[in-house]
Amino acid sequence: MKITFMGAGSTVFVRNVIGDSMCSETLRDSEFALYDIDGVRLKESETILTAMNDTMGGHAKITTYLGVENRKEALRGASFVINAIQVGLYDPCTIIDFEVPKKYGLRQTIGDTLGIGGIMRALRTMPVLEDFARDMQEVCPDAWFLNYTNPMAMLSGYMQQYTGIHTVGLCHSVQACRKDLLRLLDMEQYFDGGKELIAGINHMAWLLECKDKDGNDLYPIIRERAKQKMLDSECRDKVRLDYIDKFGYYCTESSEHNAEYNMFYIKSNYPELIEKYNIPLDEYPRRCVNQIEGWKKEFEEIKAQGVKTHNRSSEYASHIMESIVTDTPYKIGGNVLNKGHLISNLPEEACVEVPCLVDGMGIHPTYVGSLPVQCAAMNMTNINVQLLTVEAFVTKKKAHIYQAAMLDPHTGSELDIDTIVKMVDDLIDTHGSWLPKFN
């Protein structure tokens, strides 16, 4: 079996996902085909995975494919394709995503999922995914495309609606959500045997039900403790805790993400909110710089000390592949099109995050029904932007980029329409060839 990893220069992530696969008796004898356009990063990943494979028994075959000219061969015959690319990297594109909007008075925290940063990231990534899909249709048409790249809903939704490739979007915030909340509120005694229902959209899927092992609803305790935790000046999850108070439910992704998915917390006319809610402006650029420096140090340590064995993580990818290959049922939270109104009060063309069952026939989304109306309304403010961004790429109409930015809750609440248009034009010009041409 062949498993292809697109964006294998993401060395830490490829180590975790391929390492997980090497822990599986079902997957460990596979060929792991590593693809990237950066030869240095690709070589680092090959070095680490080869050493890890030797440490874990040498079952796998590691192959590498460098550059666009070798992409089709990397994909040829693959059963699974794992996507973790970052088009434009931190330098220059993430820097552009943050610095250009600052000129117009727009601040961001992460900028990879929604907002003007998420819109730009999607528009420079979709052309690459279009090429991936075209190659896959030719050389591995039945493969599953496991997407980890953000903006998750935009990219997964595009692949699902327009390419015909079997696609699911995966985000580890789903499996971490319940335990993260219980840990934050000192409720670890409820870890074991508990039950949950999570549904919505990526990075804003709602913890709709949270029960203990006996089926008792934990939300009354959660709501009371969340109010007390909001008084803690050191707490770094206040946006999501405020969601519990204002909207009734906790959601999947971190407060630094959710601070910019709405019009409530980052407001130039209310600068005191930044301190009140501990909102880390410019967090993602700082994180990128630290990760780049941290990886250099870690790689030198690995070369000096050798590669240790790997313990299988809770990341979905290896478990999904194992489930499909062995026809053993497995449950995930997956990002899929809302076909058949899996969430009945969100549109069918939206990419939603819902419980999915996996078996030998693939990935099967489950019906959830209606979200609480306020949760669906919050999701729709994000879905509007997602659908318009996909439409902008498919039609190549610049007007849809303007409209996506105007309807983005954070951007639209901070800037007037004319300024939004100027900012978008500036971003398009500054990105240059990283973006397709729009009319």
How far is residue 271 from each of residues 247, 276, 365, 413, 416, measured CA to CA in Å?
Answer: 23, 9, 42, 14, 19
What is the C-alpha to C-alpha distance for residues 207 and 217, in angstroms, rounded to an integer? Answer: 12
What is the C-alpha to C-alpha distance for residues 436 and 424, in angstroms, rounded to an integer? Answer: 14
Is the pLDDT score of 197 beyond 90? yes
CB neighbour list of residue 257: distance below 8 Å, 6 or more residues apart: 109, 110, 113, 203
Band (11; pLDDT cuts 50, 70, 90): confident
With b for 16 or more beta-carbon neighbours within 10 A and e for fewer, the 148-171 pattern comes to bbbbbbbbbbbbbbebebbbbbbb
pLDDT in tens, 338-383: 999 999 999 999 999 999 999 999 999 999 999 999 999 999 999 9
pLDDT at 28: 97
How far is residue 37 from each of residues 41, 65, 132, 137, measured CA to CA in Å?
Answer: 9, 8, 13, 21
Contact 2, 31 (CB under 8 A): yes
pLDDT at 308: 72
**What is the pLDDT of the chain when averaged over all its residues?**
96
* Torsion, Cα of 110, 116, 118, 124 (10° steps): -130
DSSP track, 235-284? -S-HHHHHHHHHHS--BSS-HHHHTTSSSSS--TT-THHHHHTT--TTHH
Q: Is 257 a catalytic residue?
A: no
pLDDT at 122: 98
Band (232; pLDDT cuts 50, 70, 90): very high
CB neighbour list of residue 16: distance below 8 Å, 6 or more residues apart: 310, 313, 315
What is the C-alpha to C-alpha distance for residues 97 and 314, in angstroms, rounded to an integer? Answer: 31
pLDDT, mean of residues 29-41 = 97
pLDDT at 137: 98
Q: Looking at 172, 203, 257, 410, which residue is catalytic?
A: 172
How far is residue 143 from each of residues 79, 322, 390, 412, measured CA to CA in Å?
Answer: 5, 14, 23, 40
pLDDT, mean of residues 35-64 = 94
pLDDT at 262: 98
Contact 353, 333 (CB under 8 A): yes
Band (438; pLDDT cuts 50, 70, 90): very high
Percent of the chain residues past pLDDT 70, beyond the cut: 100
pLDDT in tens, 122-173: 999 999 999 999 999 999 999 999 999 999 999 999 999 999 999 999 998 9
pLDDT at 106: 98
Kindly report the pTM of this predicted structure: 0.97
pLDDT in tens, 77-122: 999 999 999 999 999 999 999 999 999 999 999 999 999 999 999 9
Q: Which residue has the higher pLDDT, 298 or 202?
A: 202
Q: Three-class SS of residue 158?
A: helix
